[in-house]
Amino acid sequence: MHSLFRGWVMQATASLAHSELMHTHSLRIIIPLTALLISCTELSEFDSQLVSEALSDSVFSVTESWDVRTHLFEDGRRIITLESPYTASYEKQGRNESHMKGPVTITAYDSLGTPITLVYADNSIYHSRETEFEFEGDVVVINLETENTLRTEYLKWFYHTRHPISIMIRSAKSCAVLALMFFLNGTPESGLSQSRVQILQADQLEGFSGDLGPGRKLAGNVQLRIQDSMIEADSVFQYLDLDEIRAFGNIQVTTPRETIWSDRAIYNYLIDDSNFESRVIIVTENVTIFSTQAYYSFNSEIAQFPAKLRLEDDRGILIADSGIYFSQQDSSVFRGNVQFADSTQYVEADSMFSNRVSEYYELHGRVFMLDTENRTRLTGNYAERDSLGRRLIEGDARLLRMNEEATDSTFMWANLIQVTEHDTTFITQASGDVMIWSPEYSTRSDSSSYIDSTEDFYLIGNGNIWYQDIQLTGQHILIRFLDEALDRIDATNEPFAVFQDTLTGRLNQLRGDSIAVFFNEGDLNLITGRPDARIFYHMKNQDEEPDGGIELTAESAFMYFEDGELVDFKAYVNIDGIVHPESQDVLGKHLEGFVWTPERRPPVPVTMLIQRLEPIPDDRPFDYPRRYLLHTGE
């Protein structure tokens, strides 16, 4: 039986310990060639050489053995035991081929000598030069560690790669499903990375060697297990030297934290990195992501999307040109035409950072935010939002708010706008040359604050409010609304009011320690100054022409209006004054603290705040892979 595994022993530098056989005999057969020599009395040297070569080609030996039990050792360690009722070994021109009749049994051992795999077959052929086994008939392979079982009609084992066993399996029935495993991963050349790959199912499996080194090809209903991950695909190539598998067609990867579908995938199981292409879907506990390409690390659970993606969760839908998703932190970074929408809001920007756990979001570049619930639109260069309901927008920040009937709007410009939520109250604060425009009034100040529950609006620092032909200034101005209409304005800290006469264009003036403006159902009714009130009033004659002016002081002053026009004024307590006849001096008469700056009045907005991108499509970006449809039951 030394001839049976002579090729193996030379290839694997193993030593044959012993063989147990009941009966053995050898037969050397020589094909007769005397007919070729009868008529020859003498042969030339050349002819003799030809005859010798012919005789050599025609000689082969056959060794038959019964009840064979053979052990194969490598580096002093038993790795294989082979048992066969009958073996015929054929040798010709240095080639050895052994035919074993079944039932044939092979036992493989791990490094500790523990049996790990059993192979049963009706027949087996061993090719010594190629170090290949072929198993035929009813072939059964059992992994004793996992209890997985392989059944097929044909199996070919290539040992010459010196890597974990390369196998080719084919089934006579194309629809056959085989439960497979890499059943000899315990060989000395096996590395940790290869032993992590377990084949659970495939229709076909074969070994190969190419430019990228040795490998395995699996086809048809492939199922692999790598640690705690399950991989399913139509076909898989495993490259042993690269610690890499490449899967094609109808791929599904299932892990404890996510499930991934795609049409193509490359997975390096040494570093747990993967690349998915074509129709990529990633489903986690919180989100579902659609894209055409994704790089995913199973170790760090970080997914990178260099192509357009669509993310869906229970809160809404997000799309972007690219992005990164950190599954463990439930955080993400999206870049390029980022759009997000839910039932009450829509957001778009050049890039976005978000963390679902803390409910914190950052938006960068060309930000647009639409809040349909509060009838508000925001734009700017940067925005952020947190779990407390705080929304901040900065850099050429703009806000548009509509009334409930959507018939009236208020615009705000500022360097920074911040909206905070306290229970059911919203507070809008702005800073940096704050400008507000509405059809009824407009304002400008260093900063502002609006409280929606009380409808109070504060202007802080260099405050200005324009109403029709009136300008009121002060360091602090409080504007109060009633049912979204102006109700009262209070100015303190150097307040000053100017009223321009619509006929003469002259400027009536009022100053005091405080100035209050009162409205009746949104129409100007009364302006008061107290204490230390000072008035300069331009008079008109019967023809409504300028006719000098009156300058007076009093403890308090009242100025009455109808249809926006000053019709009367009154002063009380400690009244003192002087009448100025009509002159050029009267035209330019200004009280101390006079402020009239109509050029600083915010202009009427020429454009509405609208989104620049097309709406988020209702449909997902591609047809679903078949395994995803089975998973969702659609």
pLDDT of 82 higher than 50: yes
- The arithmetic mean of pLDDT across residues 212-221, rounded, is 90
Helices and strands: H and E segment counts in the chain: 5, 41
Please report which helix (H) or strand (E) contains residue 194, including its range: helix 192-195
**What pLDDT is attached to residue 6?**
31
Task: Give the closest residue to 437 by CA, choosing from 604, 235, 612.
Answer: 604
- DSSP code string of 466-488: EETTEEEEEEEEEEEEETTEEEE
Q: What is the pLDDT of residue 159?
A: 52
- pLDDT of residue 210 exceeding 90, the answer is no
What pLDDT, on a 0 to 100 scale, did the predictor assign at position 154?
79
* pLDDT value at residue 155: 81
pTM: 0.70
Neighbours of 526 (CB within 10 A): 14
Residue type at position 521 = E
What does DSSP assign to residue 249?
Answer: E
Per-residue pLDDT band at 339 (split at 50, 70, 90): very high
CB 189 within 8 A of CB 119: no
Looking at per-residue confidence, does 567 or 333 come out higher? 333
**Rounded distance between C-alpha atoms, residue 490 and residue 476, angstroms:** 8
Q: Is the pLDDT of residue 569 over 90?
A: no
Structure confidence by residue, pLDDT tens digits, 421-450: 888 888 999 999 999 999 889 999 999 999
Contact 581, 589 (CB under 8 A): no
Q: What is the mean pLDDT of the segment spanning 572-585?
A: 91
pLDDT in tens, 179-209: 333 333 333 333 334 446 888 888 888 888 8
How does residue 418 score in pLDDT terms, banded at 50, 70 and 90?
very high
Determine what percent of the chain is predicted with pLDDT higher than 70. Answer: 84
Report yes or no: 440 and 403 within 8 Å, Cβ to Cβ. no
Q: Which amino acid is at 63?
A: T
pLDDT 10s digits, 388-409: 878 899 999 999 988 777 777 8
Q: How deeply is 323 buried, as exposed, middle or buried, from its count of CB atoms within 10 A (0-12, 13-18, 19+)?
A: buried
What do you get for the CA distance between the two ends of the chain, in Å? 61
pLDDT score of 49: 54
Which pLDDT belongs to residue 14?
33
Query: Within 13 A of 524's CA, how many CA atoms are on the CB side?
Result: 25
Rounded CA-CA distance 525/560 in Å is 6
**Average of pLDDT values for 66-75?**
85
Q: Distance between CA 253 and CA 35 in Å, rounded?
A: 71
User: Tens of pLDDT along 33-45?
Assistant: 333 333 334 445 5
Q: Tell me if residue 536 falls in helix, strand or coil.
A: strand
Residue 417 structure tokens:
């706008």
pLDDT the model gives residue 60: 62
Residue in this structure with the two tokens 């003498």, named with its chain if needed: 42
How is residue 289 written in tokens?
């992501």
For residue 607, pLDDT beyond 80:
no
Q: If 0-12 CB within 10 Å is exposed, 13-18 middle and 19+ buried, where does residue 76 land?
A: exposed
